[in-house]
Amino acid sequence: MPGVTDFEVTDFSVAVVGAGPAGLYAAEALAKGGVRVDVFDRLPTPYGLVRYGVAPDHKSIKSIARYLQRVLEHPAVRFFGCVELGTDVTRAELLACYDAVLYSTGAMVDRRLDVPGEDLPGSVAATDFVNWYCGHPDAADHDFDLSVEEVAVIGVGNVAVDVARILAKTADELAQTDIPVAVLDALSRSRVRRVHLVGRRGPAQAKFTTKEARELGELPGVSVHVRPADLELDPASAELEAGDRHVRGNLAAMRAWTGPPDPARDRRIDLRFWRAPVEILGSARVEGLRLERTALVDGRVRGTGEYEELPVGMVVRSVGYRSLPLDGVPFDERASVIVHEKGRIADGEYTAGWIKRGPSGVVGTNKSDAAETVGVLLSELGGRPRPVADIESVLASKGVEFVTYRGWLGLDAAEMALAKSLSRGERVKLGTWDAMRAACPPR
């Protein structure tokens, strides 16, 4: 089978579906391999979770977009925004237009708790709440009731910490971020004063990273508190602390929070460990959360039969993301990932990112992940029949109005101009489909 290394400059072309970090790192590696790359996204915007997952106040992580922008500006790379796989273009059409197709559609759907009361108004998925404050156009109509004083966030990963931090900050503290105008306005009316972060296991098993934990402790006007009893370690956790820098860092951060809350600070975050949600309480909307105390037995969380209730008016479940299957692509429903071998799915089909490995790691993890897939892809390129169709003709025949890279730059410029006019930093996102489309110049 001829590999790409057999050609100086090839006329091979690859479709990458999903313009998030995994897709763009893959596009970069493919372009370096001498391959033409078309990157598709259902949104008019590139950058995936860098734009719609990284918290608005984490500007240094968001600056990864500047690196990814260079990938889109490579002469061998084209961007096709507003093209959804399955709706605007089919898998078969892509396979007819390209030598290979690489799926990097991520994991944008929430996991459920499966407890009674989960569908009450006021019980929400972190995926929706994050989409909303990140200005995702699909979340523009969400209406979160922030007139409540206490909120529980279930889960102790980095997303839960992001949600707690955004809820605990004042709108003034968020003004210099890219949060859309309507969302910042809603946050300015928030009456939330206390956020409970609830872990079903102990502090040594918390998934958040130490940098993110420390950031909570540095929030002005916010008391962060954890009960000393919750930080007592069982032998397995003590062993973890001794052997794992991450656990040691987290515990050191949390031990600084065992004192009494500072009365001068009017907002508060409470970390609560060894508590699993068993029911979201309320008749017409969330009025409380029932938790069962837990203990680790042989490394597994077990309920102890002791219960307590938190008087919260909103529950945010932040218990992980999952991917959706793609039509015709083999999918492992249990793990919520595409079935693959080192990123190879079948002849001409490959995958990278969260839909390949699950929702784990930091943005940069996608670079090595994409490199593995692209290595396999390049070694197999030329092993199947050459393309017989042209993507632009296919899209035109179906009346699909895609957004080019130039179109995205128009939207990009409109967001920066909006920020300037409002004196709100570098960018303020346009958060509705209509506003976004209107800001993209026609092709």
Site of interaction with ligand NAP (CB under 6 A): 58, 113, 154-160, 162, 199-201, 205, 207, 212, 276-277, 318-321, 359-362
Its sign, for the CA torsion 360, 361, 366, 371, is negative
CA distance from start to end of the chain: 39
Other Cβ atoms less than 10 A from the Cβ of 230: the count is 17
**Closest approach of ligand NAP to the CB of residue 189, in Å:** 26
**Closest approach of ligand NAP to the CB of residue 371, in Å:** 19
Other Cβ atoms less than 10 A from the Cβ of 357: the count is 21
**Closest approach of ligand NAP to the CB of residue 56, in Å:** 12
**Closest approach of ligand NAP to the CB of residue 404, in Å:** 30
Nearer to ligand NAP, 36 or 136 (CB): 136
Nearer to ligand NAP, 68 or 94 (CB): 68
Nearer to ligand NAP, 54 or 381 (CB): 54
C-beta nearest to ligand NAP: residue: 157
Reduced DSSP (H G I as helix, E B as strand, rest coil) percent helix, strand, coil of the chain, to 5: 35, 20, 45
Nearer to ligand NAP, 13 or 205 (CB): 205
Q: What token pair was written down for 310?
A: 């938190």
**Closest approach of ligand NAP to the CB of residue 23, in Å:** 17
Nearer to ligand NAP, 26 or 54 (CB): 54
Calculate helix-pair angle for 245-255, 235-243, nearest 10 degrees.
110
Alpha-helical segments (H) within 244-324:
245-255
Q: Any idea which residue has 């960018």 for tokens?
A: 427
Alpha-helical segments (H) within 111-208:
126-133, 158-168, 171-174, 181-188
Nearer to ligand NAP, 42 or 246 (CB): 246
**Closest approach of ligand NAP to the CB of residue 118, in Å:** 11
For residues 411 and 377, give the distance between their C-alpha atoms in angstroms, rounded to a whole number.
33
Its sign, for the CA torsion 246, 247, 250, 251, is negative
Of 80, 97, 105, 99, nearest to 33 by C-alpha is 99
**Closest approach of ligand NAP to the CB of residue 215, in Å:** 9
Nearer to ligand NAP, 137 or 320 (CB): 320
